[in-house]
Amino acid sequence: MTEIIIIRHGETEWNKTGRFQGQSDVPLSPEGHAQAALLGQHLDVDHADAFYASDLIRTMETAAPLAARLGLTVVPDSALRELHFGAWEGRFFSEINTEDPETLKHFYRDPEHANIPDSEDFSVFQKRIAGRVRTIAAEHRGERVIIVSHGAAIRILIADILAMPIRSIWHVSQLNTAVNCIRFEDDGFAVLTRMNDVAHLRAGTVQ
């Protein structure tokens, strides 16, 4: 059995103010750093064999405290990045909604067919994320691996594991520093065993 623990990054100012981040390299907010510290201190994991993260700063900053406690080096991996939102990157949700409410509504109801200029196709995005995670699982057979990635990336991975249509991804909650666990059997069969768990944040007060 191989265990993949995949965690969403901590809060950023763009999360707080409602902006599309995508592959823009946005650092954690002060609260995001506090969340990462609580994750590092209180996640109920006492060892792991490898640690990967998207190479963007918000994921690397989130990974650092937990990796330090476990004595691991974080491997940055661009294949674990968030969806590229194209022309929407850096823009406020409210701004897009004012300009083009139908396209934004379509994005949430049927993202695979949303018309976002210059954005990454959702089916390509799913193949990138799910393919990389399955490759990591195969390379670390019988081990426990921690990955820090992004909200949409984790949602679309869960959709792949559960054979859900891509249009369902926004029905899956992923809070900042949410912990998810996937068990891979030797034949590649995958089981989701934990989802959107932020119990570590209740172990202390986020300032």
Token pair, residue 196, equals 């959107």
Low-confidence ranges of the chain (pLDDT < 70): 204-207
Token pair, residue 77, equals 């991996």
Which of 9, 140, 150, 200 is flagged as catalytic? 9
Known catalytic membership, residue 82: yes
Q: In this structure, what DSSP letter does residue 12 have?
A: B
Distance CA 49, CA 19 (A): 35
Question: So what's the pLDDT on residue 205?
Answer: 57
CA of residue 123 relative to chain centroid, distance: 17
Question: So what's the pLDDT on residue 76?
Answer: 98
Residue 120 counted as an annotated binding residue: no
Residue 58 counted as an annotated binding residue: yes
| H helix intervals, the chain | 13-17, 30-42, 57-70, 93-99, 101-109, 122-139, 151-161
Residue 8 counted as an annotated binding residue: yes
List, for residues 70-120, the tens digit of each pLDDT value: 999 999 999 999 999 999 999 999 999 999 999 999 999 999 998 899 999
Between strands 179-184 and 190-197, the pairing is antiparallel
Known catalytic membership, residue 31: no
Coil vs helix vs strand at 153: helix
Question: So what's the pLDDT on residue 181?
Answer: 98
Question: So what's the pLDDT on residue 203?
Answer: 84
Question: So what's the pLDDT on residue 180?
Answer: 98
CATH architecture of the domain 2-84+120-201 equals: 3-Layer(aba) Sandwich (3.40)
CA of residue 5 relative to chain centroid, distance: 11
Distance CA 196, CA 207 (A): 21
Token pair, residue 73, equals 């080096």
Distance CA 52, CA 59 (A): 10
Between strands 50-54 and 74-77, the pairing is parallel
Residue 200 counted as an annotated binding residue: no
Which of 3, 61, 82, 89 is flagged as catalytic? 82
Cβ neighbours for 9, distance < 8 A, ≥ 6 positions apart: 28, 32, 54, 56, 58, 59, 61, 62, 148, 149, 150, 176, 177
Question: So what's the pLDDT on residue 176?
Answer: 98
